[in-house]
Structure 1
């Protein structure tokens, strides 16, 4: 008799109205492929805590910004930790999964990241620019983001917000990883159209840049997206390190790349379950 296949609870908000993206299409297509390897059921993030005991692992995918259900998400994390539930990505992520503190930590450590502060006494560490990005530490999907001139920064209510210079960049580029293995890259040639993405041929220097952040995060298993901007002098700076539920834009890559990603994810999940 064949061994039972692993059972996965795949967490997604199929109705989330993402700007410029269709979460539902990506997760429907990806789960259809993963069913070749796993027994799988989809659920809304608000139902994950109730349902997860019947599965070998919980896979958190396009579940939307947790700001919309913070209390339920915190309860899910606490329950999963208490019960020893396997969650993919693992809940030990140090980047967006834990809020925006990592941008401060990486700035302080000298990593190539957009300079970030959360203290009015540190304003002199930011370069002079026409305006500055102010964002909540717990923000996601540009929720709460605003741009202010320097003279208004001293009057902010610091503690829950981050301040960064608004970078005049050439384009944004994202690097997609399964575990520590690079899968593909996409970029937005027009800075005003973040989700109008095209395939990008990453150079060795690009991948060395992205790999620094993958190594820093120390996740043995999981999906990560390294978002960066290229400045006018050609330098890459980290914008975000997505390790909770990064959208993958799989509809924009070719069939071979999409299949290679799904195969890498399936292999990663099997190794994660066996660990």
Structure 2
């Protein structure tokens, strides 16, 4: 049996999410197929070259362990080690600059700038969102007025993203393994982001999500496309999570859980079999 290093922080406390329960469930299933060891992200560089594959999962924001994360990525590249996800994505695994790129490419995304001089490129709304480029889990995010944006973001600042605050109907997430759609979940009460229910994605919904999956074009791994439905009924991208997306797998029906685990095992085996 192949050996897998499963990187996660079982003690990371995420608001509204049970990281440790999700990863204990997933590892309990993967153990049927692989030899598996769970490792804290701060220890991963000591062991990852002893395994056939490192699966990077619910490790919390990498801002909590930047040195270990950068060393990990450099080591993976230098030694051609196998990871899951692959580190060739263009989304959250590299920070939030992709939101600027997608804005400039006119993708259906919440318009985003990182220069106060470009403020006129944003729609005129009552409130705006500012957040650090290296943020996660809403850390450092603020919803403020236009006047406050000019006070808080200097002309020299290039590390803060600025977006219009969207008055959306609900948030919805689409989950993929490699490029294959698995399931969708949404928050019918927009004030409770992580109280999720299964969502029946339409053809148009999947066309929207697939635009970002094709754009990102990672070799293998799990991706979560987070979107919001605006007042006009259109979907807009909020985030392309391609590093270690929380899966809310415990909220799924047993049939969908089984389908997801089978797809995950198949994908991992494909990676392990590659030369």
TM band (smaller chain)? over 0.9
1:83-122 to 2 correspondence within 5 Å?
Answer: 83-122=79-118
1:1-275 to 2 correspondence within 5 Å?
Answer: 5-155=1-151, 156-157=153-154, 158-275=157-274
Residues in 1 aligned to 2:129 and 2:191: alpha-carbon distance in whole angstroms: 15
Structure 1 segments (4+ residues) deviating >4 Å? none
SS at match of 2:81: coil
Deviation at 1:81, TM superposition (A): 1.3
Residues in 2 aligned to 1:41 and 1:80: alpha-carbon distance in whole angstroms: 18
Name the count of aligned residue pairs: 271
Residues in 2 aligned to 1:29 and 1:205: alpha-carbon distance in whole angstroms: 32
Give the TM-score taking structure 1 as reference length: 0.97
Residues in 1 aligned to 2:59 and 2:46: alpha-carbon distance in whole angstroms: 16
Deviation at 1:232, TM superposition (A): 1.0
Structure 1: gaps spanning 5 or more residues: none
Could you list the per-position Cα deviations for residues 172-222 of structure 1 after superposition, in whole angstroms to 9, with x for gaps in the alignment?
000000000000000001111100101100000000000000000011210
Could you list the per-position Cα deviations for residues 11-51 of structure 1 after superposition, in whole angstroms to 9, with x for gaps in the alignment?
00000001001100000011110111111110000111101
Please provide the CA RMSD for this pair.
0.8
Residues in 2 aligned to 1:130 and 1:147: alpha-carbon distance in whole angstroms: 10
SS at match of 2:185: strand
Give the TM-score taking structure 2 as reference length: 0.97
SS at match of 2:209: helix
SS at match of 2:63: helix
Residues in 1 aligned to 2:199 and 2:236: alpha-carbon distance in whole angstroms: 17
Structure 2: gaps spanning 5 or more residues: none
Residues in 1 aligned to 2:34 and 2:226: alpha-carbon distance in whole angstroms: 30
SS at match of 1:272: helix
SS at match of 1:138: coil
Could you list the per-position Cα deviations for residues 206-261 of structure 1 after superposition, in whole angstroms to 9, with x for gaps in the alignment?
00000000000011210000000000110000000000000000111111110110
SS at match of 1:212: helix
Residues in 1 aligned to 2:81 and 2:58: alpha-carbon distance in whole angstroms: 19
SS at match of 1:268: helix
